[in-house]
Structure 1
Amino acid sequence: MTLKKLALATALVTAPFMAQAELQSMDDATLSAVTGQAGISISGNFNGTVGAVVYTDTDCTNCSIRMENVQLTGLNVTDANPITVDVVEATIGGNTVNQIAIGLPSMTGGMTVGAIKVGSTSAASIGSVGIEGINFAGSTVKVWGH
């Protein structure tokens, strides 16, 4: 009985190594033919902050507008309509190059600015502002080496 248990334990321990021995890399064309493997999809809830956005008029002294505590909130990307990442071919300057194409879906959310100051950073705030209905639908970002 002990020999059978030893043989079974040996088989279980070596099975993952035998399975990995058959793995082979696949090119994009082959990978595209496999269902659900032509690219990747990303979903989630994205939030971010910016410490300050400053505009300075260089024609005068201490003439700037400073927006502080900028927050991007609730930029939601659903599983049903995710960010997509694919490899595409493009012709640039007569050369064919592979690019990473990042497709941005409809993203809902907003942005708020907590304080707007005129002049110095220690000036009192003259108010705040909110931007609603941010939408990146149909945007594509392409990345490639050169």
Structure 2
Amino acid sequence: MQFIKTAVAAALATLAFSASAMTPIQDAELSTVSGQDGVSIAANLNIKINSFTYTDTDPLDANGLGGGSVSFNGIKVNGLIAAEIDILSKKSFLAAAGAAGVTNPGTFYNPATGGDVVQIAIPQSVVADGHYLNVSVDAIKMGNSAASFGSVALNQIDMRGTTVWIFAH
């Protein structure tokens, strides 16, 4: 009886290995294969920037105006972002660009010579309401002053529906 169990186990293992064996496929055959569409990427952003400084390099005029700087300190970007990545054929890209309101994709993509296009899209339903990107600036300072004019916050930046296309040219 033990011999029969061993023989059945060996037969099943052989069947499993042969079913999962990889075999080469030619390019012509591969072009007819279809499968799961695209790749999804999600990220929880937590970006901190020490400061952003704008400097006016003009010399002072007769009224003492010109020159100086303003600095935005303690900049933070946080929130969730998700993206889907797909490969579009030329025909699918031109249709998608038209649907997105691009009136002349030929200004940046040559339909005569262009090929497939990588599409990166921020989907409508992956990030829940209330979890969009937020940008804040802790302090806004003039020149070398330690005094702050206050702070700025851009909250709930909703990027859903945004699409980016990447292609060779």
- Per the TM superposition, whether the score is higher than 0.5 is yes
CA shift for structure 1 position 145: 3.1
CA shift for structure 1 position 9: 8.6
1:132 aligns with 2:155: yes
1:51 aligned partner: 50
1:95 aligned partner: 113
What stretches of structure 1 of length at least 5 have no aligned partner?
78-82
The code of the aligned residue for 2:154 comes to I
Number of equivalent positions: 136
Return the match for 2:133 from 109, 114, 119. Answer: 109
The C-alpha deviation readout for 1:48-84, integer Å capped at 9, x for no partner, is 222222212121475111111111122354xxxxx21
CA shift for structure 1 position 105: 3.2
2:37 aligned partner: 38
- Tell me if structure 2 keeps the 8 A contact 1:62–1:119: no
Q: Pairwise CA RMSD of aligned residues?
A: 3.3
What stretches of structure 2 of length at least 5 have no aligned partner?
60-65, 91-105
- Tell me if structure 2 keeps the 8 A contact 1:51–1:68: yes
CA distance in structure 2 between the aligned counterparts of 1:28 and 1:57, rounded to whole angstroms? 57
**Percentage identity across aligned positions?**
32
2:98 aligned partner: none
CA shift for structure 1 position 134: 0.6
Question: 84-93 or 109-118: which moved more?
Answer: 84-93
CA distance in structure 2 between the aligned counterparts of 1:45 and 1:21, rounded to whole angstroms? 38
1:65 aligned partner: 70
Q: TM-score, normalised by structure 2?
A: 0.60
Question: 90-99 or 17-26: which moved more?
Answer: 17-26
Q: TM-score, normalised by structure 1?
A: 0.67
The code of the aligned residue for 2:168 comes to G
The code of the aligned residue for 1:112 comes to S
CA distance in structure 1 between the aligned counterparts of 2:146 and 2:164, rounded to whole angstroms? 39
The code of the aligned residue for 1:126 comes to F
Residues 1:103 and 1:28: Cα distance change in structure 2 (over 3 Å) = farther
Higher strand share: 1
- Tell me if structure 2 keeps the 8 A contact 1:63–1:119: yes
